Amino acid sequence: MDKFIEGKRSIKGCIDVPGDKSISHRAVILGGIAHGISNIAGLSTSQDVKSTIEAMRKIGIPIYEKYGKTVIEGNGVTGFEQKKKHAPVELYCRNSGTTARLLTGLLSGACFPARLTGDSSLMKRPMNRVVEPLGEIGARVTSNDGYLPVDISEGTLVPFEYRVPVASAQVKTALIFAALFIGGTSIVTESKETRDHTERMLVLMDGDIKNKHLIQGKSIIISGRKELTPLDITIPGDISSAVFFIASALVSPSSEIILQNVLLNRTRAHILEVFKRMGGDIKVELRGDFPEPLGNIRVKSSCLKGTTVGGVEIPLIIDEIPALASAACFAKGDTVVRGASELRVKESNRIKGIVDMVRGFGGKIEELEDGFIISGKKHPVPAQIESQGDHRLAMAASIIALNVKGKTTIKNAHCVDISFPGYFDVLESVSV
């Protein structure tokens, strides 16, 4: 499905974005090993989260809808282990790298025989970043030369200390999930802080988990084989989805929007600080702070200036960089992104995808090995943009398209369903 966008429009109104995708994945998985029944409101309706739900059902966890909530019948850590079968369970993760990597950690820890596969895009994304550390702690897990399929069989895991070599919340979480099944204390250390939803959720579930903050990063200390209390939560709106409306309002003339009940966790909402230092008129109203901070975000049209991002900021905004790139096209001066080579192994090579998108609209951008430099304040022209099957590139293109005089075509725009089903309908409803 292609999407046609007529430009030179503003956006106005109140917007509710879907439940946060990262939190939703973790809630489904941890609810499956909790001791009792979890009730979750506001679960993400994205295709990625549906992949996790389908996988958990296939390994024996009842998950269903009741009274507007998602109900998960957990059997506890020991009960989950008892569900394993002699023959490996085949799990198809579609396009969801989060599903594949987090379940590799969970199933390796539980010594649960399984084979994980995915669609053609996911089969090209690296898996050794979770397979190798899990193998080092005693799991029997193999990959296809660093890629899917991944095969898991029964191993002998022991308490471990592991320093994560890449700034990846998925790798960290995979190791934490494995540690939940290991008798004794394990330690996972990250040198750059990444999103902390797993740690927060385990505290809420009475898990035996502690954080030790270091000069750089932190250590997570987990004592395994403790049964977890079920979840009863409402998931806040996804900041990684909200950012496309935020960027659109900042750069589209005469725009003003309010995004309601959005996740404000500092390891996820740092993009707001980046936009503010670019001159963005953004006001935040905190409405709650446990287990995750959330609130309303008001955004008005602004005159942006370029900025530089890199280093410890990158893990905190990795999913928001496509939206940042689109906004940078309208900022005065250069916007520089460095240290973001992780973008090359997402649903697409996002660095190349961003470069192609900006150039397609007539913008000026220099490709770097680990990022890019955008020279803003160019007048975009109508274009035909290839999404490359990447939901965030498709949504990023819509930001620029709103400010083009004429009609833009975004090819294969249905890929937005991976994270935000109905995105273009919401965008159209607030465009004036």
pLDDT at 155: 87
Say if strands 232-234 and 35-41 run parallel, antiparallel, or are unpaired: parallel
Average pLDDT over residues 37-63: 97
pTM for this structure?
0.96
- List of residues 6+ apart from 278 with CB closer than 8 A: 302, 304, 305, 306, 307, 327, 331, 335
pLDDT over threshold 90, residue 81: no
Q: What Cα–Cα distance (Å) separates residue 104 from each residue in 29, 98, 275?
A: 12, 10, 36
pLDDT at 229: 98
Helix residue ranges, H only, 293-363: 314-317, 321-328, 350-360
CATH code for residues 3-19+236-430: 3.65.10.10
pLDDT at 1: 87
pLDDT over threshold 90, residue 84: no
Residue 93's region, left for phi above 0, alpha for psi from -120 to 50, else beta, is: alpha
pLDDT over threshold 90, residue 115: yes
Average pLDDT over residues 192-203: 96
CATH code for residues 21-234: 3.65.10.10
153 φ, ψ (degrees, to nearest 5): -135, 180
Alpha carbon distance 233, 41 (integer Å): 6
pLDDT at 216: 84
pLDDT over threshold 90, residue 82: no
Average pLDDT over residues 159-180: 96
Question: What percent of the chain has a predicted confidence (pLDDT) above 70?
Answer: 100
Average pLDDT over residues 74-86: 88
Average pLDDT over residues 243-258: 98
Residue 116 three-state SS: strand
In DSSP terms, which residues pair with 213 in a beta bridge?
218
Nearest residue to 216 via CA among 309, 317, 340, 312: 312
Domain ranges of the chain: 3-19+236-430, 21-234
Kindly compute the dihedral angle of the four CA atoms of residues 61, 64, 69, 71, in this order, to the nearest 10 degrees.
-30
Catalytic positions, written as ranges: 319
Asked if 3-19+236-430 and 21-234 have one fold, the answer is yes
Name the average pLDDT for the chain: 96
Question: What percent of the chain has a predicted confidence (pLDDT) above 90?
Answer: 94
Alpha carbon distance 101, 166 (integer Å): 14
